Amino acid sequence: MTSDSTLHLLATLLGDRLSVSKSERDNHGRSESHFPLTPPDAVAFPVSTEEVAEILRICTASNTPVVPWGAGTSLEGHALAIKGGICLDLSRMDRVIEVNAEDMDARVQPGVTREALNEELRSTGLFFPVDPGANASIGGMAATRASGTTAVRYGTMRDNVIGLEVVLADGRIIRTGTRARKSSAGYDLTGLFVGSEGTLGVITELTLRLQGQPQSISSAVCAFESLEGAVEAVIETIQTGIPMARIEFVDAATALAVNAYSGADFPAKPHLLIEFHGSESATAEQAELFGEIAKDHGATGFDWATKTEDRNRLWSMRHKAYWAILASRPGSRAIVTDVCVPVSQLARAVSETQADIEASGLPAPILGHVGDGNFHAILLMDENSPKEREIAKGLAHRMAERALALGGTVTGEHGIGMGKLGYMRAEHGEAWDLMGEIKAALDPQGILNPGKVVP
Amino acid sequence: MTSDSTLHLLATLLGDRLSVSKSERDNHGRSESHFPLTPPDAVAFPVSTEEVAEILRICTASNTPVVPWGAGTSLEGHALAIKGGICLDLSRMDRVIEVNAEDMDARVQPGVTREALNEELRSTGLFFPVDPGANASIGGMAATRASGTTAVRYGTMRDNVIGLEVVLADGRIIRTGTRARKSSAGYDLTGLFVGSEGTLGVITELTLRLQGQPQSISSAVCAFESLEGAVEAVIETIQTGIPMARIEFVDAATALAVNAYSGADFPAKPHLLIEFHGSESATAEQAELFGEIAKDHGATGFDWATKTEDRNRLWSMRHKAYWAILASRPGSRAIVTDVCVPVSQLARAVSETQADIEASGLPAPILGHVGDGNFHAILLMDENSPKEREIAKGLAHRMAERALALGGTVTGEHGIGMGKLGYMRAEHGEAWDLMGEIKAALDPQGILNPGKVVP
């Protein structure tokens, strides 16, 4: 519980940018996933780093939990104030501070969204490549080490954040990294805060690596007779060194859901969707090489596109997948799980998961970022059926265990939040204790997003 | 000082794999750079993780410093036992444990050298791309976050180590990361240990990301009228998205030193050396595009090569540069400095450094990994002249200060060791204290490589 005196101090600092209204608290107590409503005691809307620092000093003095909030698009309940306290909504710190076109980097505030940033970059010929699907905030994407469809080419947030400004629990403001492309000057604090889910500090500024907008983009979709054929094609493509910008897998159930949703007529088979970025001749050559490899592994029904509108049509299968899947069972709610395995184990991980889903009776299409070995199941359950909820949770649980048994991780890109905390010991062993020791050193009172990530 | 009882316990554990001989101690008290001989009290040669853990338990119990040692090729005195204690020589833990060709990864022990690893990988069609020049150990390369000529394409050790086994100060053995290509499961401990220079734990195993050997390699060397022209060509090449595998800068002084050393006849101008990896048509296209850009910026004397022996001849300028520069002033010793700036600031950083060198009267050729904004000066001094030593140190000092003033870092790839400790506050501000807090949490007695990296 946040004390009245703490709320008073915060209100004095922030004026009407501190809200205790039920609607604001409820807005910040919801998640995009299946977690129950968990409103914070109040919602703060800082507009500067100094305000964030002052809020943290006030909350440290009174032992009040502080939970940073970006765009609220996380899937594992990361930003829910499960121990009460203040929700720190950073959406009003949303400026693009500086774009250095020559160095292909930008300094931004954490509240800017991915789409707003790319809109602002459009005229520079540059773009920020990490694309988790949702229009998440850049700060939130860093905090959860997000990635998505383009990670196979451009990496995750770990690879695309080169520096941070962070406010620590006690209000100290630090800067990590420089604008140099690389450095060997001491511990990689940038990398430590990326993926720390608001438990070590509050990110108040980011320096991002940008990419040049590709001269040419070429996309394709093709169907495979079998999951194994699709995965083998991906492995061979990677080994041949063909630089894919995106390579996505959707299973037959997803293809059927998209057909029903948008009147498409994809065959009821597993599909790969692929995209190449580069010069016109390079993407043409890559497309041809990929086509040969894919055909060797049983691909049919190739559909290529280089024009934007045609590409968008092809990719609609992927972009509409989540909504199509939700619509395929009206009234249902989804648990969207996320695991990542070594690519050599992907076919096994997916086919065992499909068998498990089939045996469960629950509809649960599978799709994912196959170039990274990362895949999701959209577990559709009747919210009002405790039995279906249990079945869905059981499926998600066995997916996580299977990923670990195959040498993988319980989350490739969604993060730990509340949903995956129970697997940290199994994945990390004693290294999990080390995470706790680092947390205790940086946030000895444990006020930053308590109950998440660490033991 | 290491107590007799500690030495006795270690000798009981290791037998003749603990040495207190003067020659072994001196061998492990030298550095490749200008630091004075600093022999440890004893040298331990463990052959297993369990032995490393037992050594650390013994040393923790007696508060004895432990300094990990790879191949002894670091340039800033990283592995010198400046507080005495035990040198932990990991060279006998040099196995390639496992290569997963399908997943393009490998598990190795820390003592394997870069060249030995690539020799073992040759038949698999894969290679480990990080190339710092020296035949360093992989463990040492991880500990200093090394990079080198290929970082512009394949990244640094930060990007190519996906998991670690680490022994902590108290003897706990932890594993970080999985074999999955990406993960959002908690703090990035792998990234924290990479670059920690043996101050947080001892790396006893690494999981590395491998690359496919390129189908075709194309190299070129060309001269520029001006430094600015060369840098502008690099910036435009990067922005155009042409994927360079290596792009190296050498100044006129280096070209002249190479001429004198190996009978070449490079013009007395700044040069770029460039390499492309990919399919035959892709590298040909990239070479052509680069050639056009380079000519726009005043490049002349293009010499292209695709055959191995011709490439080796072209690259001899780079590979022989250090020895050629040393030979250009017989009897001299070199301080090899390392800074990294945003690429847009590179021409300014290099030309101001050249002017400073010229004013100093000391010979000091400049070369570097220009695609990253990373460059080195080889400061040639008469070892027996305290005056020249002061001049050289002054030049290196102003290079570091200049790098910071231009938004860069005091070391792009060599690390902190003893040589750069004095710049940590200027580069990191209060974030340096945070590094100290993390160190204190993980190694409360401060036995791991004391006197390095942290306050």
Residues A344, A358, A330: CA angle, nearest 5 degrees:
115
Say yes or no for a CB contact (<8 Å) between B438 and A440: no
Write out residues 363-392 of A within 8 Å (CB-CB) of B: 372-374
Write out residues 235-254 of B within 8 Å (CB-CB) of A: 235, 238-241, 243
Q: What is the mean pLDDT of residues B319-340?
A: 92
DSSP state, B222? Answer: E
* pLDDT confidence of residue B204: 98
Residue B236, min C-alpha distance to chain A (Å)? 8
Which residues, other chains included, contact B151 with Cβ-Cβ below 8 Å and sequence gap of 6+? A182, B130, B369, B371, B372, B374, B413
Q: How confident is the model at residue B369 (pLDDT cuts 50, 70, 90)?
A: very high
Q: A-chain residues within 8 Å CB-CB of B409?
A: 178, 180, 182-185
* Domains defined along chain B, listed by start: 4-89 (3.30.43.10), 96-212 (3.30.465.10), 216-322 (3.30.70.2190), 329-415 (3.30.70.2740)
Taking the C-alpha atoms of residue A433 and residue A220, their distance in angstroms, rounded to an integer, is 45
Q: Which of B333, B270, B284, B316 is nearest to B30 (CA)?
A: B333
Based on its alpha-carbon atoms, the radius of gyration of chain A, rounded to whole angstroms, reads 22
Please give the interface size between A and B, counted as residue pairs whose CB atoms are below 8 Å apart.
291
Q: Does B429 touch chain A (CB under 8 A)?
A: yes
Q: Does B297 touch chain A (CB under 8 A)?
A: no
Q: What is the mean pLDDT of residues B375-385?
A: 93
> Which residue in A121, A127, A174, A183 has the most chain B C-beta atoms within 10 A of its own C-beta, making it the best mutation to test that interface?
A183
Query: Exposed, middle or buried: residue B281 (CB in 10 Å: 0-12, 13-18, 19+)?
Result: middle
* pLDDT confidence of residue B1: 79
Cα-based distances in Å from A119 to A114, A227, B206 = 9, 37, 41
Alpha-helix runs per DSSP H in B90-132: 114-121
Inter-axis angle of helices B308-319 and B252-262, to 10 degrees? 120
Cα-based distances in Å from B361 to B37, B366, B387 = 28, 15, 12
Minimal Cβ distance to A344: which of B100, B338, B413: B100
Minimal Cβ distance to B428: which of A186, A192, A440: A186
3-class DSSP state for residue B377?
strand
Strands B96-100 and B374-382, by their bridges, are: unpaired
Say yes or no for a CB contact (<8 Å) between B189 and A159: no
Q: Does A405 touch chain B (CB under 8 A)?
A: no
Residue B213, min C-alpha distance to chain A (Å)? 8
* pLDDT confidence of residue B315: 81
Q: What is the mean pLDDT of residues B40-69?
A: 98
Q: Does B189 touch chain A (CB under 8 A)?
A: yes
**SS3 sequence of chain A:** CCCHHHHHHHHHHHHHHEECCHHHHHHCCCCCCCCCCCCCCEEECCCCHHHHHHHHHHHHHCCCCEEEECCCCCCCCCCCCCCCCEEEECCCCCCEEEEECCCCEEEECCCCEHHHHHHHHHHHCEECCCCCCCCCEHHHHHHCCCCCCCHHHHCCHHHHEEEEEEECCCCCEEEECCCCCCCCCCCCHHHHHCCCCCCCCEEEEEEEECEECCCEEEEEEEEECCHHHHHHHHHHHHHCCCCCCEEEEECHHHHHHHHHHHCCCCCCCCEEEEEEEECHHHHHHHHHHHHHHHHHCCEEEEEEECCHHHHHHHHHHHHCHHHHHHHCCCCEEEEEEEEECCHHHHHHHHHHHHHHHHHHCCCCCEEEEHHHCEEEEEEEEECCCHHHHHHHHHHHHHHHHHHHHCCCECCCCCCCCCCCHHHHHHHHCCHHHHHHHHHHHHCCCCCECCCCCCC
Alpha-helix runs per DSSP H in B208-307: 227-240, 252-262, 280-296
Say yes or no for a CB contact (<8 Å) between A191 and B188: yes
The values of phi and psi at residue A174, to 5°, are: -120, 160
Q: A-chain residues within 8 Å CB-CB of B105?
A: 342
Taking the C-alpha atoms of residue A408 and residue A399, their distance in angstroms, rounded to an integer, is 11
Q: Does A196 touch chain B (CB under 8 A)?
A: yes
Task: Count Cα atoms within 13 angstroms, Cβ side, for B241.
Answer: 22
Contact B254, B324 (CB under 8 A): yes
Q: Is the per-residue pLDDT at B317 higher than 80?
A: no
Say yes or no for a CB contact (<8 Å) between A343 and B423: no
Give the residue from chain B lying closest to A420, CA to CA: B185
Say yes or no for a CB contact (<8 Å) between A180 and B342: yes
Q: Does B337 touch chain A (CB under 8 A)?
A: no
DSSP state, B37? Answer: P
Q: Does A159 touch chain B (CB under 8 A)?
A: yes
Q: Does B360 touch chain A (CB under 8 A)?
A: no
> Which H or E element spans position B414?
none
Q: Which of B401, B402, B382, B400 is nearest to B391 (CA)?
A: B382
Say yes or no for a CB contact (<8 Å) between B185 and A411: yes
> Which H or E element spans position B395?
helix B386-405
What is the percent of chain B where pLDDT is above 90?
A: 87
Taking the C-alpha atoms of residue A17 and residue B46, their distance in angstroms, rounded to an integer, is 60
The values of phi and psi at residue B226, to 5°, are: -140, 155
Q: B-chain residues within 8 Å CB-CB of A338?
A: 184
> Which residue in A75, A184, A189 has the most chain B C-beta atoms within 10 A of its own C-beta, making it the best mutation to test that interface?
A184
> Which H or E element spans position B223?
strand B216-224
Query: Exposed, middle or buried: residue B96 (CB in 10 Å: 0-12, 13-18, 19+)?
Result: middle
> Which residue in A98, A152, A165, A181 has the most chain B C-beta atoms within 10 A of its own C-beta, making it the best mutation to test that interface?
A181
Give the residue from chain B lying closest to A454, CA to CA: B186
Q: Which of B288, B71, B273, B246 is nearest to B149 (CA)?
A: B246
Q: Does A149 touch chain B (CB under 8 A)?
A: no
Cα-based distances in Å from B56 to A149, B9, B15, B46, B176 = 43, 12, 16, 11, 19
Residue B415, min C-alpha distance to chain A (Å)? 5
Q: Does A288 touch chain B (CB under 8 A)?
A: no
Q: Does B289 touch chain A (CB under 8 A)?
A: yes
Instruction: Report, in this order, helix, strand and coil percent for chain B, each rounded to 5.
Output: 40, 20, 35
Minimal Cβ distance to B434: which of A146, A183, A189: A189
* pLDDT confidence of residue B253: 95
Q: What is the mean pLDDT of residues B400-422?
A: 97
Q: A-chain residues within 8 Å CB-CB of B340?
A: 180-183
> Which H or E element spans position B188?
none
Cα-based distances in Å from A214 to A72, A99, A275, B281 = 31, 18, 11, 18
Q: B-chain residues within 8 Å CB-CB of A178?
A: 407-409, 427
Task: Count Cα atoms within 13 angstroms, Cβ side, for A218.
Answer: 20
Inter-axis angle of helices B4-14 and B49-61, to 10 degrees? 170
Give the residue from chain A lying closest to B173, CA to CA: A430
Q: Is the per-residue pLDDT at B316 higher than 80?
A: no
Say yes or no for a CB contact (<8 Å) between B241 and A175: no
**SS3 sequence of B309-348:** HHHHHHHHHHHCHHHHHHHCCCCEEEEEEEEECCHHHHHH
Q: Which two tokens stand for residue B237?
A: 């090449």
Give the residue from chain B lying closest to A143, CA to CA: B184
Residue A146, min C-alpha distance to chain B (Å)? 7
Write out residues 10-69 of A within 8 Å (CB-CB) of B: none
Taking the C-alpha atoms of residue A138 and residue B57, their distance in angstroms, rounded to an integer, is 43
Say yes or no for a CB contact (<8 Å) between A374 and B182: yes
Q: Which of B72, B77, B93 is nearest to B17 (CA)?
A: B93
Which residues, other chains included, contact B379 with Cβ-Cβ below 8 Å and sequence gap of 6+? B334, B335, B336, B337, B362, B364, B392, B395, B396
Residue B260, min C-alpha distance to chain A (Å)? 33
3-class DSSP state for residue B149?
coil
What is the percent of chain B where pLDDT is above 70?
A: 100
Query: Going residue by residue through chain A (455 aa), what tens digit of pLDDT does each one get?
Result: 799 999 999 999 999 999 999 999 999 999 877 889 999 999 999 999 999 999 999 999 999 999 999 999 999 999 999 999 999 999 999 999 999 999 999 999 999 999 999 999 999 999 999 999 899 999 999 999 999 999 999 999 999 999 999 999 999 999 999 999 999 999 999 999 999 999 999 999 999 999 999 989 999 999 999 999 999 999 899 888 888 999 999 999 999 999 999 888 899 999 999 999 988 888 998 999 999 999 999 999 888 888 888 888 778 778 889 999 999 999 898 999 999 999 999 999 999 999 999 999 999 999 999 999 999 999 999 988 999 999 999 999 999 999 999 999 999 999 999 999 999 999 999 999 999 999 999 999 999 999 999 99
Q: B-chain residues within 8 Å CB-CB of A343?
A: 102-103, 181
